[in-house]
Structure 1
């Protein structure tokens, strides 16, 4: 049986970032457990690739996420330049369709200042100013943030994997976690019946993180849902109708789903989307059920837990029905985008883009949990509900997690720092 000082479950951008900090700060035996054959096979590669500025995050309710996003912009830029990785400063405009939504943008402008976004990088534009910026963009107003970037987080994660491995982290691929016990130490059993133990375990397994936490008898009061977001890719001729990322003020602000947006990808393509299709697993990128036994278990969970309360919410049901319609109709999706880019037509979008899964956590009250859940076990730490802008904030947030574990006494080892392109102490001081 292999034994480690720290075992990290999840080889996405967060797990890989945490492994980088641990391998840079300590001489420990650290492993990253990943059920696929490489890092970043799921959400870390299946997102919009936007380095988000935290103008839309409430600084009082989502302070750590907003600080992480602000700090990480510069960290990712340093990394991209050192490694010659994609870094395209395209900017983002969040548009309002009427005076009511304009009030939301005014609120966001105040939040942006509180969250530390420089004044010269964000501006509230009226309809005429929007037309000067983007002649094909029609809206009541828009909040323009020039610092937003398009990149490829899958590429970032794979490069970070190399650095972490160089510093001594062992990456264990094709290891699907079957069971976990963290009573006296962390003992992890895999689907092939092999096992490993660790003095401490960090669970950051994305859409599977709540299930892993429950195996440690934690977070049992929560449930989750999986929603697939689908996109359509514009043909090359029409890809630059608008040259900036466009987001819209959400029609359903109480639910964590963005309305359709226009995304400029790092590879030069343009996509519109997403919708929100309920699926059975965090890996159901096509169809609706995935494996039948998993689907049946999820349906039982839905009708026996917190999700049942959510399904009595009329606003949620209205959102779900409208999003589902757009998931099965390209024309419906395009019509929604026409509300702010009137020139787009269904025939401009000839193929599906990348589908990704978002897994919101549901509280006992039947409400979506808005922020990250950090749950402490006996010999484990669980990061649950790590959704957007998770990839943006990963390098700073992972440093914050390592500092949290230090303060709690879980990393009581002498530090032996190695050369790093990021400064751990400087990052922590910014929190």
Structure 2
């Protein structure tokens, strides 16, 4: 039987997981196309490394289902590859009675999602779990973990190659077109002449473009809604001697008035503490340095009516995030509210992340995973947090759906 010839666009953790799954589990001849000179160059390599347990997500949603499945698959994978994985746990902390009142529904959602060991704790018990944390009440999720997602991605890529697949770095996809019985992919190579096409023709193409997902969809003639609107998140890093101040992660209670979570305290597997991220409109989809606007990306945002509708009804959130974006002191004080013993005098700026936030034309943020496709082309339109946590389960889901469609031809 002829092997399925497939291409996967995007070498983040989701794209690499999809490519590896197609090669190993379906015997496909897979080519992974990544425009950068390494895997995990964008969102995968610029996050806090949290393996989410499934606290926040609507029960029955793709996020909830694939998160829980993804955690189990990820645990097995890192154990096989001896990748550092630490179930340090997490507390979602209420500082006052108003915040405490929001914990009940959040706890019910976590229980409905099957989050292991999750429970509500009062102030005294919170101090037993996290002696350095202030708060009147909290949700404790003892199985929430941290991991090195770039290391996971590299290991996935190695397994792809072992299964006979190919990883083409420095290949940027410029065109995708369905032609007859196949899908033609045109790429340019870094340093090569503009417009040169050397991607090839495939029976199946899966686009996992993250920050560029709407543009990849547009290459196929799909609508660009939902549109990607990038939001950056800054992190501060504390010296390693600050690591013992907390045992695990410390998160604020989500405020339903605001679309983003707020600054939290997260240890990393390398032994340092990170503070952040905030969330503020980025002037470039891949601008990880301050003051690096990208004209095309700015035009895409300001010319999109959905962004202005979002902005009009989120003025309080914008004010809150502006404070942390403009003032390092305000940013750090947000963390100290929850962990008063933190010494932030030696905090330094860490890696900036850029979140690929899908936004609808009416200004709504698209919350769940969105995966569209046919028997020949699958496009991951939206895969926000817990996308990295869920990557192996997303790969299973995409492959199963693609094979189901192909068998029904």
Instruction: Encode CA deviations 1:283-313: one digit per residue, 9 max, x unaligned.
Output: 1001244444x24xx3254234321222222
Task: Name which of 217, 220, 227 aligns with 1:216.
Answer: 220
1:159 corresponds to = 155
**1:343 Cα shift?**
2.5
Is the 1:228–1:358 Cα contact (8 Å) retained in structure 2? yes
Q: How does 1:151-300 map to 2 (within 5 A)?
A: 151-184=147-180, 185-191=182-188, 192=194, 193-195=196-198, 196-252=200-256, 255=259, 257-292=260-295, 294-295=296-297, 298-300=298-300
Is the 1:219–1:375 Cα contact (8 Å) retained in structure 2? no
- Residues of 2 paired with 1:79 and 1:300: CA distance? 38
Aligned length in residues: 399
1:368 corresponds to = 365
1:26 corresponds to = 26
- Residues of 1 paired with 2:243 and 2:218: CA distance? 45
Alignment of 1:110 onto 2:108: yes
Instruction: Could you list the structure 1 runs, at least 4 aligned residues long, displaced by more than 4 angstroms after superposition.
Output: none
**1:403 Cα shift?**
0.9
- Residues of 1 paired with 2:133 and 2:300: CA distance? 45
1:429 corresponds to = none
CA-atom RMSD, angstroms?
2.0
- Residues of 1 paired with 2:4 and 2:293: CA distance? 33
1:424 corresponds to = none
CA change 1:324–1:179 in 2 (3 A) is farther
TM-score (normalizing by structure 2): 0.92
Is the 1:278–1:288 Cα contact (8 Å) retained in structure 2? no
| 3-state DSSP of counterpart to 1:73 | helix
Task: Name which of 113, 118, 124 aligns with 1:122.
Answer: 118
**Which consecutive unaligned segments of at least 5 residues does structure 1 have?**
413-431
Alignment of 1:84 onto 2:82: yes
**1:99 Cα shift?**
2.7
- Residues of 1 paired with 2:106 and 2:45: CA distance? 28
Instruction: Encode CA deviations 1:180-222: one digit per residue, 9 max, x unaligned.
Output: 2235332222234123221221111111111100121113333
2:69 corresponds to = 71
2:146 corresponds to = 150
2:331 corresponds to = 333
- Residues of 2 paired with 1:157 and 1:378: CA distance? 26
CA change 1:340–1:304 in 2 (3 A) is closer
Alignment of 1:385 onto 2:382: yes
Is the 1:247–1:262 Cα contact (8 Å) retained in structure 2? yes
- Residues of 2 paired with 1:86 and 1:246: CA distance? 20
CA change 1:154–1:208 in 2 (3 A) is same
Is the 2:267–2:273 Cα contact (8 Å) retained in structure 1? yes
- Residues of 2 paired with 1:312 and 1:339: CA distance? 29
Is the 1:182–1:378 Cα contact (8 Å) retained in structure 2? no
Alignment of 1:352 onto 2:349: yes
2:59 corresponds to = 59
Alignment of 1:133 onto 2:129: yes
**1:47 Cα shift?**
1.0
1:426 corresponds to = none
**1:378 Cα shift?**
7.1
**1:328 Cα shift?**
3.0
CA change 1:198–1:290 in 2 (3 A) is farther
Task: Name which of 331, 341, 344 aligns with 1:343.
Answer: 341
**Which consecutive unaligned segments of at least 5 residues does structure 2 have?**
189-193
CA change 1:4–1:355 in 2 (3 A) is farther
- Residues of 2 paired with 1:263 and 1:312: CA distance? 32
Moved more, 47-56 or 192-201: 192-201
Alignment of 1:318 onto 2:316: yes
CA change 1:236–1:27 in 2 (3 A) is closer
- Residues of 2 paired with 1:328 and 1:237: CA distance? 27
| 3-state DSSP of counterpart to 2:303 | helix
- Residues of 1 paired with 2:374 and 2:353: CA distance? 29
CA change 1:211–1:377 in 2 (3 A) is farther
